[in-house]
Structure 1
Amino acid sequence: MTEYGNIIKVRDDYKPTYFKKSSDVIEAESTISKNNQKVKFIPDPQSEAPWLNGSKEFNHKDLRSRIEPWLTALFQSEHLSLLAGAGITHAIHYIAVNASAAGMSKLDLETYGEEIDEAAKKSSEASGREEGNIEDQLRVANELLRGLEVLNDDKASALKEELEKGLQKFADSILKSEQGIATAQEHNRELAFNTLVTFLMSFASRTGVRDRLNIFTTNYDRLLETGAEIAGIHLIDRFIGSISPIFRSSRLDIDLHYNPPGIRGEPRYLEGVVRFSKLHGSIDWLQYGNDIRRLGLPFGASSVMPYLDVAGFPDMTAHKMMIFPNAAKDQETANYPYVELFRDLASAVCRPNSTLVTYGYSFGDEHINRVIRDMLTIPSTHLVIISFDDPLGRIMKLYDEWGRHSQISLLIGPELADIKNLTQYYLPKAAIDKTTSRMTELLKQRLPNVKEEKPSDVELDSIGPVMRSS
């Protein structure tokens, strides 16, 4: 990334436009919402931006007029999917407590620790990451553990015990991030959840006649589930049951309908229904015998251990948690249930007239990138990448390698992807586009000679998370 740390490419842009905030404007943190209309941006002189019409500067209003209609059109594609990475958790956590959420730091392993770290580093470098994280360590350590168990090596039990303690520590760090949001000051907590609700409703507000929104996430926490619960969004996943839901392989086309009073005929689709998949598992997924079950773990619990004490399963430990690529038993378990979840991802996005939006995803998982690359081989598909930054240059590298520039839109940088700016200015309005259209037509009929007015700065500044999600 150059000093022009923001990148925009939408509509018919041939190349990305790099830009930065003008140094002539000093913006106070406490008055962001009032001063955003006065903030000026300047493009990189090397960028080609015909939409600027030769102008040397622009503002949020100019960006909104270019981005919001484009996203609104894309969000009405026949098939729409959202892939949320760790960036969404960090963004909401920062609003709530003014600090980043827990990262994926490596485990401190003593049993073959150096060998595991070395192999994890090679694995991460192959995926384009500088250093191995806990996922790379778990993948290597579990493969080593299975080998030691085959050889009846005495160190197998020691490594397994270290992995159990490490997974428990990692799960507690994820819960600490949830707890930080849940126990934040009331004003900050409400602002954080209002922003999350607005974000989700911008995607989920699709009419019942269209294919359901698909939400995929690589996160282990339950932030998206909690946000959907607050927003009144119905999540449909592969888990069946109420007391202790069980993961089912059967991919039935389950949906929610209702019968309007006084109307005969076919039931109508209920709005606000989303198909939801956690590609890397979750801290409340555990292996009970031969089944994968979802544990009743409250959002923001202080520790996972008290909830592992389940009658009938005396040997339940943190090593049973289904966190990708943790494998509690053998290769069959290692592939299940993740193979089912990635099949859902591929079948959802790799079809004509499909739009995939990524938010906070760093493109560090090659197995997911492969699916996205295959999706782009279908000419009618489109990829929208929204990311706060690209510190390793991985996003722009893949953008150049894939070569499908006309099928990719870019919104990279804090001025575009900061979740408060994103929900306030750029994401489509939730569920009121039909009302806006009817109002416009009515005004044209009453005042045929009056042109449609553009929203003023005051109107634009008044569009907030609460108003748009109501």
Structure 2
Amino acid sequence: MSDIYFYKGQKNLLKDKEEKVAVEEIQKELLQVFDVQNLSFLFGAGCSSHVVEENEVGIPVMVPMAEEFYGKLEEVDKTYLTDTIKINIEDELYKYNLEKFLEVLFSYRYLMECRSDATELEKINSFIQKTKKFIFKKCECVHEDVIKIYEQFYRKLVYRDKNLTKTNIFTTNYDLFNERALDQLGIIFSNGFSGVIERYFNPAVFHYAFAEQMDLSNNKWNVIDNFIYLYKLHGSISWFEDENSKHLFKIKELQAPTFTDKNVMIYSTPVKQNASFGSPYSDLFREFQKKLMLNNNILITVGYSFSDEHINNLIYQALTIPAFRLIVVGHVKAKNIEKLFELNDPRIWIIGETEDWSSGSLAKTPLHFFNRFVDEMLPSVDQENIEKSVQKVIETLLTKNEEVPSHDS
């Protein structure tokens, strides 16, 4: 029997089933999910991590990233954190989560701004920049193996029925894997920025659609099939605050970002910070909330650990809507995912595979990791449509043959 599970509430639909059968069952269920009117994905850090022969070729998830950052700190830095900011980096809250650490730094900076403490403000700003630069450098990764996984995901996704609402991709990741994959596939997407030579944030574009003119005489338009809405909830390494801009929203997107500007827009839980961080994050979270509240809506989370309280609260609000469904692709024994499992709500699906750490490292890549989710769990919608079309033709031919009278009659 396989270690693959598919929980609806606390009922495992794949109990005592072989791996091949289990994967086929998951594909059938997800194929139906692809037909819902409103479909959204939430990508977490796990989607940009990819290990090949025990080497990380993507971006490390939060635990190894935090360990590496703290390991590079000098003693004077550790003393500053302990004595001044009162952060113990050995505390489990910060030891394995660099975003929680960054959140405290922002809160401390806000306190110093309120006190008008210029000396302390300079120190904390320097430390914040050091942390953001470390994250920035990690997120510059452009490894082709990871981009190809994203490309395969979008290839499968764009074959959804063109009459359905366009898919929303929400991500907490700062990297550019989504953008690079979409560009290489030639898929048009909206990320909340408008302009050509200079692109500035404009939340109104999330309500625009790309269309092609079908009939010049009747002014008939048709929304293009391959179109994606991309929302980066925690910011991006390509976003910078342009204080001298005359635009209403002063957030600028750069095509070739480098860490030279102190205003790179990377924030862990931005909506909890002071009002100066209101946009674009308040707009992005508002869009997230609006999409979740739509009728006949499904949210699929992949590589997301449910460690962001604000995102979680919006998801919990959506669960008050009877028609909303949440599909978690992840490890059912993970701390925050297990809490969802304990709710025993049949609208919450948890799909994945038992992780074997008996040898000190993963014995094999679990099914809920992004590469296997894309390769094996996501249905090939185009192939399914081809098979349906072939079956329909065969049935039509058989029907016609039955209607043709024989020469003996």
Q: TM-score, normalised by structure 1?
A: 0.70
Q: Secondary structure at the match of 2:317?
A: helix
Contact 1:84 1:361 (8 Å CA) reproduced: yes
Partners of 2:136 and 2:7 lie apart in 1 by 38
What residue number does 2:138 align with? 173
Instruction: Quote the Cα distance in structure 2 between the aligned partners of 1:134 and 1:390.
Output: 23
Partner of 1:223: 177
CA 1:193–1:238 in 2, change beyond 3 Å: closer, same or farther?
Answer: closer
Ranges of 4+ aligned residues in structure 1 off by more than 6 Å:
119-122
Residues 362-406 of structure 1, C-alpha deviation per residue, up to 9 Å, x if partnerless?
A: 11111111111111211112111112x3564321222213x4x22
- 1:105-124 alignment, distance < 5 Å: 105=66, 106=69, 108=73, 109-110=77-78, 112-114=80-82, 116=85, 118=87
- Conserved in 2, the CA contact under 8 Å of 1:117 and 1:132? no
The equivalent position to 2:222 in structure 1, one of 264, 268, 278, is 268
In 2, Cα distance between equivalents of 1:7 and 1:260: 46
Please point out which of 336, 339, 363 is paired with 1:394.
336
How many residues are treated as equivalent by the alignment?
371
CA contact (8 A) 1:120 1:140 kept: no
Conserved in 2, the CA contact under 8 Å of 1:142 and 1:326? no
Kindly indicate whether residue 291 of structure 2 is the aligned counterpart of residue 348 of structure 1. yes
Aligned-residue CA RMSD (Å): 3.2
Alignment check: 8 A CA contact 2:194 2:205 kept: no
CA drift of 1:247 comes to 0.8
Match of 2:60 in 1: 102
Residues 397-445 of structure 1: per-residue CA shift (max 9 Å, x gap): 22213x4x22122212244324444334331214354433221111122
Q: Is the 8 A contact 2:169 2:229 kept in 1?
A: yes
Displacement after TM superposition at 1:141 (Å):
1.4
1:27-106 equivalence runs, <5 A: 49=15, 58-60=18-20, 62-91=21-50, 94=52, 99=57, 101-104=59-62, 105=66, 106=69
| Pair 1:135 & 2:99 matched | yes
Q: Unaligned regions of 5+ residues in structure 2, if any?
A: 354-364, 402-409
- SS in structure 1 at match of 2:220: coil
Displacement after TM superposition at 1:354 (Å): 0.3
C-alpha distance in 1 between matches for 2:86 and 2:33: 43
Given candidates 309, 314, 321, the residue that maps to 1:371 is: 314
CA deviation map 1:167-195 (0-9, x unaligned): 222211222xx14x14xxxxxx4xx5443
Q: How does 1:375-454 map to 2 (within 5 A)?
A: 375-387=318-330, 389-390=331-332, 392-401=334-343, 403=344, 405-413=345-353, 414-447=365-398
Q: How far off is 1:63 after superposition?
A: 1.5
How far off is 1:206 after superposition? 2.4
Indicate the residue corresponding to 2:213 in structure 1.
259
Distance 1:199 1:120, change over 3 A: same
**C-alpha displacement at 1:358, in angstroms?**
0.8
Asked whether the equivalents of residues 325 and 334 of structure 1 are also in contact (C-alpha less than 8 Å), the reply is: no
**Correspondence for 1:333 among 276, 293, 310:** 276
Describe the superposition over 1:227-268 as per-residue Cα deviations: whole angstroms up to 9, x where unpaired: 111222211121111223111243662111112378855211
Residue equivalent to 1:238: 192
Deviation at 1:99, TM superposition (A): 4.6
Distance 1:193 1:292 in 2: 26
Query: Normalising by the residue count of structure 2, what TM-score does the alignment of the two structures yield?
Result: 0.80
Unaligned residue ranges in structure 1 (runs of 5+)? 19-48, 50-55, 183-188, 299-303, 309-315, 451-470
Amino acid at match of 1:425: E
Q: CA deviation at 1:335?
A: 2.5
